[in-house]
Structures are given as structure tokens and as C-alpha cells.
Amino acid sequence: MQSDVVLTAAHWIYLISVAAIILTMILRANVVVPSVIGTFLVVLAITGNPISGLIGIFSASFVAAKELFNIFLVITFMTALLNSLKTLQADVRMVQPFRRVMRGGHSSFVIIALCTYVISLFFWPTPAVPLVSAILLPAAIAAGLPPLAGAMAIA
């Protein structure tokens, strides 16, 4: 059973677009324009119709928004939760039991790493990291943990 894969112009345009996006990120520039142009050119190469290329740009935007909406929603809820904890000063009360254990830099590092791990098991890790950072990191730094070591424990 032999299967020949034929690379079309769309494949090469896609590869060039990915390289352009990576180069743009290396240059620390905005990646939106190369992404939109790359999407348009790939769809144009597949269909041969410029109108389909424009439709492809908007379809890609809708698909990306649909996939990312859940992430934005979770981050919004975690931010709202953190702000309500600060309003009630519950963040200070939540840290008090950990202050007893966080006597030095080593124990603070282990506590932050374990808390990040446990919270990441139940929540998506991206909103879990700011939650742990905002609540436990100031207490850990006060206990003697260097800020860079705290960032390493959270990451």
C-alpha cells in the first residue's frame, strides 16, 4: 500500500506564513497582520476565489473566538473571585495558616509549589497561577523567599 502525499501551493504558503509569524514574534512585533494575510493566502490558494479568502479570515476569527471564550470566561471568574476575596480581606485570612509553616525560603518554595499543583488539578492552570501568586507570594517573600524563586515555584 503506497500513499503519495502531494504538497500543494497551500501547504507552502502555510509554511511560509508560519515562518513569517515566528519571525514576527522574534522581532517582537504584532502578529495579527501576518496571521490575517497568511490565512487569506492559504484559503485563496485552496479555493482560487478572493471572496472565499475574505470569508476564511472571518471564519478563522469566529473559530478562534469560540475556542478561546471558555478560557476568557474562566479567567474572568477567577479574577472576580480574587477581587471578592480582597474586598472581604479573606486573602489575608487564607494566608495566616501558611505563615506558620512558611518560616524560611525553602519551606515557602515547597508550599507555593504544592498549592499551585493542587489548584491546577481542579482549575485550568493559567488562572490558578495568578490566584496563588496574589495570595501566597507576598507571605513567602516576607518569610525570606527571593521573588525569582517564588516565580519558579509558581511556574
> Mind listing the pLDDT tens digit for each residue in 86-97?
888 887 787 888
> Which pLDDT belongs to residue 1?
66
CA distances from 5 to 2, 11, 14, 153 (A): 10, 11, 16, 46
Looking at this protein, which amino acid is placed at residue 41? Answer: L
> Which pLDDT belongs to residue 58?
96
For the chain, residues with pLDDT lower than 70 are: 1, 124-128
- Model confidence pLDDT, tens digit, residues 109-134: 998 888 888 888 877 666 667 777 77
Q: 75 and 126 in contact (C-beta within 8 Å)?
A: yes
Find how far residue 16's CA is from the centre of its chain: 25
DSSP class of 112: H
